[in-house]
A and B are shown apart, each in its own frame.
Chain A
């Protein structure tokens, strides 16, 4: 028992060290350049600090979330020859990372109004920052969760499955809660203050907003779809082996991870696709 406690203590200590070391280091110039390249942004003397601060905040909280997820999901077990092994749940690690990403977005510094407060009369729309498809992902994933819940109920009522009703309900509830929370955060990002400022500062703010919405859309949709896979795991269809369901869940999780990564790293809407800033976007 003592050895389990010792291993747990070492793990927590290592996690704290990783968080401290990774978040105390300055963001590298290469990382800022990569961000600017992806966002087609020109780094200037006016917006450089803004980018460093954003990347530092997001890295700090995402790493903290990732490591917290790793620690929370770690389980120790004794192997056949008596050695102590450690295992981790990838989904819990992802949940930790995503929670860190949410906290980071809530803590990102926004542009402050000047002495004379001034603002553009141009409405900010999601499609300026993220593709319509990506913006629709989180609600679409919530619809999939509801449809899965309805299908589970129907299959249970018709005798085609023997669902675990408690878990089916829990996963549906979790999926909808995640979708609602992520949507709320997306609106927070969209409504972050953007007082009038120099064009390069506004461009950096737009790039930061775009990046945040990509991460929230992809991560949120992926998390909801992982909950859908858990819903599927609670269906227990009659005549279908558990191993088949397990395989479906594993393959589904890999597909969701790949899909999420592709959306998160997709290019922002091109400058040409963004509304003309010289016009006020007549409805």
Chain B
């Protein structure tokens, strides 16, 4: 999941990850829906737009959307596109729990790398801003 620099919400795909790209997209969007970041009724971008933006084949994004639809996360209708379906929001406690779990994992990695707390926090802040080699600084070809 990526906080885009324009203030909106985005998805990211790591081509080197062993997780297939469609699953990376599906998981991020599902998490955002569950956390309430994507509200019910929110329209998702057309398959071809998202595929072009991510530099992926349209089939990859189409599969992610199909899996989301099969899981009841989104609703696809002809001429209306794909919108987030009505779904119970993840309880606040679960959001906090998952965030803290991820933070603990990150803290453990920082300790293993010998990185101090200040630098580790700074790295998180930069990542949230899309900096430090993130997609936010990539230059056009």
Contact = CB atoms under 8 A, between A and B. Distances in A.
Given A120-B53, A122-B8, A194-B53, A281 B42 contact: yes
B117 interface: no
Contacts of A114: 134-135, 137-138
Nearest to B25: A119
A123 B49 contact: yes
B94 to A, nearest CB: 22
A46 B138 CA distance: 10
A50 interface: yes
Contacts of A121: 8-11, 29, 32, 38, 44-45, 50
Interface string A184-202: 0000000111111111011
B38 A280 contact: yes
A280 B8 contact: yes
Interface residues of A, number: 37
Contact of B2 (A118, A198, A201, A202): A118
B108 interface: no
Contacts of A283: 41-43, 80-81, 83
Contacts of B139: 46, 201
Contacts of A50: 140
A112 interface: yes
Contact of A278 (B7, B32, B42, B130): B7
B11 to A, nearest CB: 6
B8 A117 contact: no
B6 A202 contact: yes
A213 to B, nearest CB: 15
Nearest to B12: A118
Contact of A191 (B5, B44, B49): B49
A46 B136 CA distance: 11
A197 B5 contact: yes
A196 B10 contact: yes
Nearest to A199: B5
B127 to A, nearest CB: 11
B138 A115 contact: yes
Interface in B111-141: 130, 133-141
A202 B12 CA distance: 17
Interface in B54-78: 54-56
Contacts of B46: 123, 191
A196 B56 CA distance: 14
Interface in B13-43: 13-15, 29, 32, 38-39, 41-43
27 contacts: A111-B140, A112-B55, A112-B138, A114-B134, A114-B135, A115-B138, A116-B12, A117-B12, A119-B10, A120-B10, A121-B29, A122-B8, A122-B45, A191-B48, A191-B52, A193-B52, A196-B136, A197-B138, A197-B140, A198-B130, A199-B6, A202-B5, A277-B7, A279-B8, A280-B39, A280-B43, A283-B83
Q: Which 9 pairs show the lowest CB-CB distances between chains A and B?
A: A114-B138, A119-B53, A118-B135, A118-B12, A113-B55, A278-B7, A112-B141, A114-B135, A277-B6
Interface of A: 46, 49-50, 109-124, 191-199, 201-202, 277-283
Given A116-B13, A118-B13, 18 more contacts: A49-B140, A50-B140, A113-B138, A115-B135, A116-B14, A116-B134, A122-B8, A124-B45, A193-B52, A195-B138, A196-B136, A197-B137, A198-B137, A201-B140, A202-B5, A277-B7, A280-B8, A280-B43
